[in-house]
Structure 1
Amino acid sequence: MLTLRLYMLQRITALLMAPLVLGHLAMMIYAVQGGLSAAEILGRTQGSILWFLFYGIFVMSAAIHGAIGLRTIAHEWGGVKGVALDLVMWVIGLGLFALGARAVWAVSFA
């Protein structure tokens, strides 16, 4: 049952990330074609709750999605099982979230 829940959670996070990736790419293309500098981009994103939520949801979804995927790889290729398998998933997921959250904070509020 846990495997089915993780499978469904990974698919849900993929559905969340798809439009976020497209939005992120569109903004990058807009910024590059507009000739915006890093300072100008940060000037537009800092203090914006909208950008904080956009990238916060993106990071949370990516951390969950990636941790579940790497859990599957650790099980299928590495033969990791049981508590160790769950520990791998949690450590990777929390690590990805911490790194992403730090970046979101820097772009939004630092």
Structure 2
Amino acid sequence: MLDFRLYMAQRLTALIMAPLVLGHIAVMIYAIQGGLSSAEILGRTQGSLFWLLFYGLFVLAVSIHAAIGIRVIVHEWAGLKGAALSALTWATGLGLLAMGARAVWAVTAA
């Protein structure tokens, strides 16, 4: 049952990430073609609730998606099981979430 829930969680996070990736790429193309500097980009993102929520959701989805993917890879390649595998999954997910949240905060709120 856990495997099915993880499978579904990974698929759901992929559905969330797909439009966010496309949105991120579109914004990057716009910024590059517009010749925006880093300072100009930060001027537009800092203090923006929209970008905080956009990239916050992106980071949350990526953290869950990647942690589950790494769990599957480590289980298949290294044969890790049980509590050690769960600990690795949680550590990966929380680590990615912490790093991503810090980056989102720096770009949108600092």
The verdict on a shared fold, with TM-score over 0.5 as the criterion, is yes
Which ranges of structure 1 fall in alignment gaps of 5 or more residues?
A: none
Structure-to-structure mapping, 1:3-18, within 5 angstroms: 3-18=3-18
The total of aligned residue pairs comes to 110
Which ranges of structure 2 fall in alignment gaps of 5 or more residues?
A: none
Alpha-carbon offset, residue 67 of structure 1: 0.1
Alpha-carbon offset, residue 51 of structure 1: 0.2
Corresponding residue number in structure 1 for 2:71: 71
Corresponding residue number in structure 1 for 2:92: 92
Separation (CA, whole Å) in 2 of partners of 1:109 and 1:91: 26
The one-character-per-residue Cα deviations of 1:64-106 (angstroms, maximum 9, x if unpaired) are: 0000000000100010000000001000000000000000000
TM-score normalised to structure 2 length: 0.99
Letter in 2 for 1:26: A
Return structure 1 stretches of 4+ with deviation > 3 angstroms: none
Separation (CA, whole Å) in 2 of partners of 1:74 and 1:2: 16
Letter in 2 for 1:105: W
Separation (CA, whole Å) in 2 of partners of 1:33 and 1:78: 45
TM-score normalised to structure 1 length: 0.99
Q: What is the identity percentage for the equivalent residue pairs of Structure 1 and Structure 2?
A: 69
The one-character-per-residue Cα deviations of 1:9-58 (angstroms, maximum 9, x if unpaired) are: 00000000000000000000000000000000000000000000000000
Separation (CA, whole Å) in 1 of partners of 2:89 and 2:13: 15
Matched, 1:41 2:41: yes
Q: What is the root-mean-square deviation of aligned Cα atoms in Å?
A: 0.3
Letter in 2 for 1:108: T
